[in-house]
Amino acid sequence: MLITASLVAELREKTGAGMMDAKNALVETDGDMEKAADNLRKKGMIKAGKKADRETSEGRIHSYIHANGKLGALVQVLCESDFVARNEGFVEMCNDLAIHVSAMDPLYLTREDVPAELVAKETEIYREEMQAQAKPQEVIEKILEGKLNKWFSEIVLMEQSFIKDDDKTVDEFIKGKIATIGENIQIKRFVRFSF
């Protein structure tokens, strides 16, 4: 199949990938847009994983205030260089994250930040619920794991479905941006305000 410039541009618009990466992905998948996008996403996740240990000493604090003035958020997002911190794509990402925090009201940044006693309490509630239904122990454990994962996905920012693309978690959204921007990016902290 002939890989046209418009096809490459369409894939770049869809994924945020570089021109040559988009072209190569289309060549590898014989012009299949969906497969090419998936391949770029997988490669981006691999690149993002390699950058995760790099130091993040720059970044920005970004705010979002809803139009009614009764809801807002601040996010502190770190990156490796002040050049990236001023980059339009990075600023847009920070704004998207602040909007997400405003809308989804996460309580914790990562699963590890959730207090152990709160996790134990939720686990006990779910376990008692399952035992009351007289389910076998191995079934209870599987259901318990699923219920806890769902609970974490509601209260933990990095595990929430991203508000602008619910096929991705916030963590996957950030890893996609790491692959596009080329630097390690981390959310340091966030706060939400509302009336």
- Reported as a single tens digit per residue, the pLDDT across 49-70 is 555 566 767 999 999 999 999 9
Count CB atoms within 10 A of the CB of residue 115.
9
Q: Tell me which residue of 43, 29, 104, 46 sits closest to 71, measured CA to CA.
A: 104
**DSSP E strands, the chain:** 58-65, 71-79, 161-162, 165-169, 186-194
User: Order of strands across the sheet with 58-65?
Assistant: 58-65, 71-79, 186-194
Q: What is the pTM of this model?
A: 0.71
Rounded to a whole number of angstroms, the distance between the first and last alpha carbons of the chain is 56
User: Strand pairing partners for 71?
Assistant: 194
Q: How confident is the model at residue 1 (pLDDT cuts 50, 70, 90)?
A: low
Beta-carbon contacts of 2 under 8 Å, excluding residues fewer than 6 positions away, are: 31
Q: Give the pLDDT of residue 70.
A: 94
- Reported as a single tens digit per residue, the pLDDT across 108-129 is 999 999 999 999 999 999 888 8
Beta-carbon contacts of 127 under 8 Å, excluding residues fewer than 6 positions away, are: 140, 144
Q: Which domains does the chain have, with CATH numbers?
A: 5-51 (1.10.8.10), 58-109+156-194 (3.30.479.20), 115-155 (1.10.286)
Distance CA 108, CA 71 (A): 18
Statement: residue 93 has pLDDT above 90: yes
Mean pLDDT of the chain: 87
